[in-house]
């Protein structure tokens, strides 16, 4: 009986342990990143007429491919920093007969400056 009370008391004591709340000190919160990061520098390397393989080599495999729109690749990127700031980016590439036709999204298309 005493042994049971001691085990229950020890279990309750351990259950009440936790991380103390110290003002001014917050625990580490890592950045959360999902999708393909596509920078403006990489988009600038895209040229109309590039093959799908060339685009895949440059940008990686697209996050979304739609079976109903086989000539469209979507690259989606989402990141939440440690401070809670969120960054998101969407880029859509359109192909015609297997060749890159144009780019739409949150970055400036290389053909836009022409």
What is the residue-averaged pLDDT of the chain? 80
Mean pLDDT value across residues 26-48: 80
User: What pLDDT is attached to residue 21?
Assistant: 65
CA distance 54 to 38: 15
**27 pLDDT above the threshold of 80:** no
Topology of the domain covering 31-113: Beta-lactamase Inhibitory Protein; Chain:B, domain 1 (3.30.1450)
Mean pLDDT value across residues 45-74: 89
**41 pLDDT above the threshold of 90:** no
CB burial of residue 95 (10 Å; 0-12, 13-18, 19+): middle
pLDDT grade for 113, boundaries at 50, 70 and 90: very low
pTM comes to 0.62
């Amino acid at each position: 009986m005493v042994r049971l009370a001691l085990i229950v008391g020890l279990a309750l004591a351990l259950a009440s342990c936790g991380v103390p709340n110290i003002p001014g000190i917050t625990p580490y919160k890592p950045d959360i990143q999902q999708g393909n990061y596509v920078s403006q520098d990489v988009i600038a390397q895209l040229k109309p007429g590039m093959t799908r393989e060339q685009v895949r080599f440059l940008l990686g495999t697209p996050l979304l491919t739609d079976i109903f729109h086989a000539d469209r690749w979507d690259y989606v990127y989402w990141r939440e920093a440690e401070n809670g700031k969120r960054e998101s980016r969407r880029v859509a590439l359109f192909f015609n007969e297997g060749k890159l036709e144009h780019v739409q999204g949150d970055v400036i298309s290389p053909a836009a400056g022409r």
